[in-house]
Structure 1
Amino acid sequence: MTYTTPLYDRSKLTPGIVHIGLGNFHRAHMAVYLDDLFALGEGHDWAILGAGVRAPDARMREALLAQDCLSTVIELDPSGRSARRVGSMIDFLPVQEDNAALIAAMSNPAIRIVSLTVTEGGYFMDSAGAFDPLAPEILADAAAPHRTAFGAIIAALRARRAAGVAPFTVMSCDNLPGNGHVTRATVCGLARLSDPDFAAWIEANVAFPNGMVDRITPATGDRERAMAADFGLSDPVPVTCEPFRQWVLEDNFPLGRPALEKVGVTFTNHVHEYETMKIRILNGGHAIIAYPGGLKGIHFVHEAMQDATIRGFLDAVETREILPVVPPVPGVVLGDYKSLIIERFSNPEVADTERRLCLDGSNRQPKFIILSIRDNLARGVMPHGLILESALWCRYCFGTDETGAEIAPNDPNWDMLQAAARAAKADPSAWIAMEPIYGDLARNPDFVAAFGAALDKVWAEGSEAAMRAYIG
């Protein structure tokens, strides 16, 4: 088995982008698109400087610097695997507590875009999707600036303004509704805590384009490292991914951008419609199959899709309760997109895990599920399937699956979730009383009753019976 290497002279690349958050998704998505563009002989002044602000980023830096910042990306097509070495990143900045190297790099006029993949929960939002100025890390950053990625961005923008250098564009590559708007709210909200005038300047002068990103990228473990070895590569941090990828962006880059439309990126004014489709149907779909699979002790996502009840539950909830609240997308048939998602989830080569899909529900549920619950309630429909999904999440957070096996902590807020789930076994309202997640839904008596009935059925009869009853 052979692999491909960059089809361009990496020594001729110069940086134009600082990217914060060098996880698997970025290296299988944005880095690949740029690698494709560079292979066309274009955009060689848009190479990536990698960056991070947390301890795991330092370990990733060490691993990537040891291989000249090349990333191994293995596409998991059922018809056969393929591997490539992606060379669009040319350096990884030192990871420092005060982010001095990161701030210096972003202050360089050559850097015209700062992009981020810091996870859905990394933007310090409350249950209503607004910036939370009382988040502990935000309060710490306001007191001792520049500790978060957003604090570093503010410091670099301030330095550029003082030097008469135009501000870079800030581009989120995370799965968030209106990710550009969210990023602006976080950057400006943090700046406003110490300098309201500078926050107003950022709002007026810095571009935050919205975007939709999509590619399934499992976590890296021994299996993935063995795949790299099959191609003759010794790489401690290879990335595996499905063949499919998609990137939709607003064309809002005042200092210019790479010509990514030449390698498949869609630039459109309809990003919101694309991202709503993806977040509700794909990310929501992941949640729908995650918790019943986790409760049944199923390990891999494709194995969950082979379970007729879980697959039927996914299709029924998507068709009855999600597709009707997704706005039309230009040129896309939503039913066809749903079918594509089901096909992608079923790919056995990807070997994505149910546990990864179950991770971080406290941050993901408000964005991927509860928004659809609210939209259904607004149209006068009680979304019993989505409510059952929420009950299954509650049952999962109790901490044991239906085989009796312990479920290890799987959320940054696991202690809070487990305490609420255990209280909810006797009193289901204890679960939906978590206002940071459910907002004011606990004050909707019809929703409270429907959730209580769903959770009681899960406990009394099991997830299989509860899903079968919904499917009908």
Structure 2
Amino acid sequence: MTVKLSSSNLAKLPSKVSGPKYDRSSLKAGIVHFGVGNFHRSHQAVYLDDLFNSGLGHDWALIGAGVFEGEKVGRSKLEEQDWLTTVVEQDSGHMSARVTGAMIDFLMPGHAEAIIERLADPAIKIVSLTITEGGYFIDPASGKFNPAHPDIVADAQLGAAPKTVFGIILAGLVRRRADGIVPFTVMSCDNIPHNGHVTSDGVIGLARLIDEDLANWVRDNVAFPNGMVDRITPATTDRERGILASDFGLEDNWPVFCEPFKQWVLEDHFTAGRPPLEKAGVQFVKDVSPYELMKIRILNGGHAAIAYPAGLMDIHFVHEAMQEPLVRGFLAKLERDEVIPTVPPVPDTMLEDYYQLIERRFSNPKIGDTIRRLCLDGSNRQPKFIIPTIADRLKAGKGVAGLALESALWCRYCFGTTDSGAVIEPNDPSWDRMQATAKAAKDKPGAWLAMDDIYGDVGRSPVFTQAFAHALDVLWANGARETLTRYLAGKL
């Protein structure tokens, strides 16, 4: 017999599943969160659940929000179980399940007026975001906010009902300004370099299209702390639902499976107070930049390094890629030769120890993270996780053979077939463009680097252009396996 997750069944949870130690009916909302997905529910929501379990912060409960029609599916799944989520932590020697109850409501995605009304509530002191790299309207080449994006332009029109996250947030701030209420803090929890600054650029950039005085008020009165977040959290499938039911006796519409490791480093900059998250393991610092750069280059860049060769070799799971000596060897050589040397010192951290931790985490056989997920959205991820490292190597006059090969592997993947000839289904918001450009690059490698919005000056570097063209030619002539063999032997 299994137990169906709901508030009424919390007292009947199976013996191997822990539940909230607090009275959820006593929680009060203090945070509105946009982007209620797996990562948020394995990370921010877990930190808050830990805090509530310790008897602290009960007026900082979460309310979900969203802007996309597709988010209604997740909302419906959570509504059926009273906004509860089961979080399952797994590695080779550990598996545990807990029910978290930090979220107490989820506003209907796309219902802007209702969301703005809640944002105007003085009880809401933080608005947080996990809207993915693609949700910030960033021009990939410059890394700056793009005020000419059609969705932003539409939100800036007089009397327009906001459709974007930034439009809704700004409308909430406008309401609070008019009512004389202290503005909430806007806290990005996305994997983006300088995520607080990026969020600030978006909100202020939109405000500037509407009214210069409003933009200056937001700049002077609203906090946008930078933060570094980390926890490997794959998508949920029937596989995970089945494991939860069979191993733990619990039915959950949308459980989250993740690794035991989690990290959150956050700048202590808030306009209207914050929960005492340091009591739950959050590390508050004056400047998150060193931690952020380390994680983005070594971990996120490392994910990209294993994703595309594994994808071309028809490898399904990330831990299976790490069992392939060629992929594991490529990751290690690329990181130690070209990536880690671009990372400045990080307080209380040995970079080699951090890399070895990353290697162990990628090798976790229980997570079920997929290569396809790592390959997703390269057009947004590569300009953040890989191309800045290339730029730093070129600026220092250092070699880029491994990074050029990583770019060539991405290009080859976007061609749309693996080395065995299997079709790669569309896996990027700009897949049609990426595929067409990859096909042109087969004979003219420069076509790929000519995507100026992605590569910028890196794509015009003679050193990188030559290295990329050579790597792509070798890939097409010999396949990923033989190309990696040559690279590891120093013969590429």
The match for 1:378 is 395
- Quote the sequence identity (%): 61
* In 2, Cα distance between equivalents of 1:283 and 1:226: 29
Q: Deviations over 1:86-117 (max 9, x none)?
A: 000111112235x1111111110000000000
The list of structure 1 runs, each at least 4 consecutive aligned residues, that deviate by more than 4 angstroms after superposition, is none
1:301 aligns with 2:318: yes
The match for 1:6 is 20
Between 306-315 and 225-234, the greater mean CA deviation after superposition? 225-234
1:34 aligns with 2:48: yes
Q: Secondary structure at the match of 1:319?
A: helix
1:348 pairs with 346, 361, 365, which one? 365
For residue 19 of structure 2, what is the amino acid of its counterpart? T
For residue 54 of structure 1, what is the amino acid of its counterpart? F
1:357 aligns with 2:374: yes
1:445 aligns with 2:459: no
Aligned-residue CA RMSD (Å): 1.0
The match for 1:157 is 173
CA apart distance, 1:136: 2.3
The match for 2:6 is none
The match for 1:147 is 163
CA apart distance, 1:442: 2.7
Q: Secondary structure at the match of 1:90?
A: strand
* In 1, Cα distance between equivalents of 2:74 and 2:145: 29
1:189 pairs with 181, 202, 205, which one? 205
For residue 182 of structure 2, what is the amino acid of its counterpart? A
CA apart distance, 1:44: 0.3
Q: Deviations over 1:378-436 (max 9, x none)?
A: 11113110110000000000000001100000000000000000000000000010111
* In 1, Cα distance between equivalents of 2:438 and 2:75: 38
Q: Deviations over 1:135-183 (max 9, x none)?
A: 2221222233411111000000000000000100000000000000000
* In 1, Cα distance between equivalents of 2:94 and 2:261: 14
Q: Secondary structure at the match of 1:43?
A: coil
1:119 pairs with 132, 146, 152, which one? 132
The match for 1:325 is 342
1:70 pairs with 66, 84, 87, which one? 84
* In 2, Cα distance between equivalents of 1:278 and 1:321: 15
1:436 pairs with 449, 453, 476, which one? 453
For residue 183 of structure 2, what is the amino acid of its counterpart? P
The match for 1:257 is 274
The match for 2:59 is 45
The match for 1:134 is 148
CA apart distance, 1:272: 0.4
* In 2, Cα distance between equivalents of 1:55 and 1:357: 24
Gaps of 5+ in 2: 1-14
The match for 1:237 is 254
Q: Secondary structure at the match of 1:337?
A: helix
2:35 pairs with 9, 21, 31, which one? 21
1:56 aligns with 2:56: no
Count of matched residue positions in the alignment of Structure 1 and Structure 2: 471
* In 1, Cα distance between equivalents of 2:463 and 2:61: 53
For residue 111 of structure 1, what is the amino acid of its counterpart? I
Q: Secondary structure at the match of 2:89?
A: strand
Q: Deviations over 1:116-140 (max 9, x none)?
A: 0000111000121100112222122
TM-score, normalization by structure 1 = 0.98
The match for 2:185 is 169
For residue 427 of structure 2, what is the amino acid of its counterpart? N
Q: Secondary structure at the match of 2:32?
A: strand
Between 139-148 and 429-438, the greater mean CA deviation after superposition? 139-148
Gaps of 5+ in 1: none
1:225 aligns with 2:238: no
TM-score, normalization by structure 2 = 0.94
* In 1, Cα distance between equivalents of 2:351 and 2:459: 31
CA apart distance, 1:471: 1.8
